[in-house]
Chain A
Amino acid sequence: MNALTQLDMNAENANHVSLSYWQLVRRRFTANRYGMAGLIGCLIVLSCTIFGGFFAPYGAQTKDRNAISSPPQLISIISPDGELTRPFVRGFEEKMDPVTFEFSFEPSDNKIVPLGLFVKGEPYEILGLTFETHLFGSLNGVPVHLLGTDGLGRDVFSRMMYGTRITILMAVMVMAAACVIGTMIGVSSGYFGGTYDLVVQRGVEFVKSFPDLPLYLALVAILPRRADAMAVFIMFAAILVLLRWADLARELRGKVVAIKSVEFVKAAVAVGASDGRIIRRHIIPNMSSHILVWATYTLPEIILLESFLSFLGVGVQLPMVSWGSMLNQARDIQALTAAPWLLAPVGMIVISVLAFNALGDGLRDAMDPYSND
């Protein structure tokens, strides 16, 4: 490219209205297909959190005594006589093996369960309002279990939808608390420096030196037994927060130390802005993209940790349902063999971890809109 065209291009650019930082980020992010896919995945998972009751045909504790450990059902739109009909599933013919006494389920053409959209069913709550309409359901009153049922006859799909609530709620709570604590401590320590900074940094190092899994397990052991599920849930979240804030605090401190000596902060000091104002109006806005990316990456980590601890039976307690506590039933290898569909929540875990990671990658790339690659 010769010098003249370069000049032309510069002149041309000068006539455009320049875009703000967040506009640039949005432009770059929407151009990233991978990040957009992550965003869509995240929105789906989050919508399950809010509208779980609507997507789920039954309640989390509803037991169907006629379908104990029944396998998943396939939605079909071609009727037994080969014609196109409304979507339906086949009910099961229960058979017992006379030798092993093992039950087996055979889909039968005689037990057709037609499906419909927006079917009235069990009441559920969304944000405090009670509704009765479910996204889908059976039209003839025979229950439909798309992902099968567990050993107590509870619908796996419905439980999974309700489990999203607890899992995501936990992840968001922990992430938000760790964000606030980490930001406050990290920014103040970087901004004020001195002895306070030294003490805080030793503290951060101390917290970071703990191996997290053994510490979580040890702290879970000192939680009072027989506390109710909600109390355990909150204490569990508090334990997760305990170690999470340190990473963010350390990263932000480094960034604040670097940004403190940049002209705009010095200018703010010169015109007499207070420390609080400088931090709120000048420093935090410059940290926001970093915090956002950190938060996106932290969510899947907490989802994994919560799932593992609940899977072991030391996390979320009954009657609360989370993906991990659903998998707890599959810990028993016999139960797992009898009903491999109990592993269904793994799908949700993998999808959400994948989506949040992809979103994080996309955001991280988009947050630096002035780079060219």
Chain B
Amino acid sequence: MALLLYFVKRILVAIPLLIGISIVSFGLVVAVPGDFVDSWMAQTMAQTGMSAAELKPQAEELRQKLGLDKSLVHQYVLWLKGIVFSGDFGQSFVYSRPVTEVIGLRLPRTLGLAIVTLILGQGIGVFLGIYAATHQYKLGDNLATLIAFLGIVIPKFVMSLIILYLMAYVWNSSYIGSLYSPEFILQEHFSFAKLWDFFLHVWPILFISVWAGQAYTTRMMRGNLLDVMNAQYIETARAKGLSRRQTLFRHAVPNALHPVIMNMGGRFDYMVKGEIEIAIVLGIPTLGPLILSSVTERDMYVLSAIFLLVSALLVVGNLVADFALAVLDPRVRRAEFTKE
């Protein structure tokens, strides 16, 4: 019961957050001078050679049809209605297609890669952290700490640049700037050869993201575990006759894992950001390069849609992380009640 109440409360808190995010996204569209019809006019003028005066009546008609002549609040409601009820994010100026089509394929790729890197990064980080903490100040610990430190210090875009350079000129790799080799692009069905080909194209993203992502987890896990190992209940566990191993995995690790799980939501944010950053440099067709091109070309509907979707996903991701923690740890859901 307490758990259910906790869930409902968290969801109720998330709703105003989502509304706020949608207002900001809409603000992005409105803040840029010139609306959709202006850019439509410019495009038609360039294509057909008609003058602005000739197009004016048509433009007014289009404005009325799209509701752009109404007040901002009205426009916002229309815009939100379109998104919620028909998944309509507006039209891309640059591609002259609905935004959903432009983003459609790219968003799941970014998300998928972010989730895979999140799982790998956290897993490796936890493992390295445990190893480092149990071998404190030995070679393995120093090595793990060094790897973690480099992961934090070297900017991801620089790592991507270096890998791009190596791929292009040292290894003469042909797996650059796309997701599949030409022979697999038209292949509809799933095959392991295709999956492997996909991996050969995206491994730099996985490599760099996981390296950078595991860094914080390794450090955190190492620190936590060292703290926990000094706690009295660990000594008690040892005293009552549990082996080192048993104490470690039954008592120490679960407690040290807590902050790591609590941070999952934040880490997800970090991974999405990292994926975007790396994909921009490597030119892999996920959300990253699309964001950059829509910034330089001011394709505001695309930009605001990406922004809205990514923010909303992060809110949902945080919600899921909170739920997971509440299920795992009774203190969390109880604390929420004692506060009130």
A interface residues, Cβ below 8 angstroms from B: 202, 205-206, 209-215, 217-222, 304, 307-308, 311-314, 327, 330-331, 333, 336-337, 340, 343, 346, 349-350, 353-354, 357
Closest CB of chain B to A296's CB: distance in Å?
A: 14
Residues of B within 8 A of A217 (CB): 291-292, 295, 303
Q: Is the CB of B31 within 8 A of A222?
A: yes
Q: Is the CB of A211 within 8 A of B155?
A: no
Residues of B within 8 A of A218 (CB): 28, 295, 303-304, 307
Q: A211-B269, A218-B295 provided; 4 other pairs, C-beta below 8 A?
A: A206-B20, A209-B314, A211-B273, A333-B165
Q: Is the CB of B20 within 8 A of A214?
A: no
Q: Is the CB of B311 within 8 A of A210?
A: yes
For this complex, 23 residue pairs linking A to B, each with C-beta atoms less than 8 Å apart, are A209-B21, A209-B311, A210-B21, A210-B24, A210-B311, A211-B311, A215-B307, A217-B303, A218-B28, A220-B295, A221-B300, A307-B155, A308-B277, A327-B158, A330-B161, A333-B164, A337-B165, A337-B169, A343-B158, A346-B158, A349-B155, A350-B154, A357-B153
> Given the interface contacts A222-B28, A311-B157, A312-B280, does A211 sit within 8 Å of B169 by beta carbon?
no
Q: Is the CB of B311 within 8 A of A213?
A: no
Q: Is B298 positioned at the interface, with any CB of A under 8 Å from its CB? A: yes
Residue-wise interface mask of B (288-328) relative to A, using a CB-CB cutoff of 8 A (1 in contact, 0 not): 00011011101010011011001100110010000000000
Q: Is the CB of B303 within 8 A of A221?
A: yes
Q: Which of B155, B276, B281, B315 has the most CB of A within 10 A?
A: B155
Q: Is B272 positioned at the interface, with any CB of A under 8 Å from its CB? A: yes
Q: Is the CB of B307 within 8 A of A214?
A: yes
> Given the interface contacts A206-B17, A217-B292, does A333 sit within 8 Å of B32 by beta carbon?
no
Please provide the chain B residues from 1 to 40 with a CB less than 8 Å away from any CB of chain A in the complex.
13, 16-17, 20-21, 24, 28, 31-32
Q: What is the predominant secondary structure among interface residues of chain B facing chain A?
A: helix
Closest CB of chain A to B200's CB: distance in Å?
A: 19
B interface residues, Cβ below 8 angstroms from A: 13, 16-17, 20-21, 24, 28, 31-32, 149, 152-158, 161-162, 164-165, 168-169, 269, 272-273, 276-277, 280-281, 291-292, 294-296, 298, 300, 303-304, 306-307, 310-311, 314-315, 318
CB closest residue in chain A, given B158: A346
Partner of B155, one of A206, A209, A215, A304: A304
Q: Is the CB of A214 within 8 A of B155?
A: no
Residues of A within 8 A of B300 (CB): 221-222
Q: Bound state CA distance, A206 and B16, in angstroms?
A: 9
Residues of B within 8 A of A307 (CB): 155, 157
CB closest residue in chain A, given B164: A333
Closest CB of chain B to A20's CB: distance in Å?
A: 28
Q: Is the CB of B17 within 8 A of A211?
A: no
CB closest residue in chain B, given A340: B165
Q: Bound state CA distance, A202 and B17, in angstroms?
A: 9
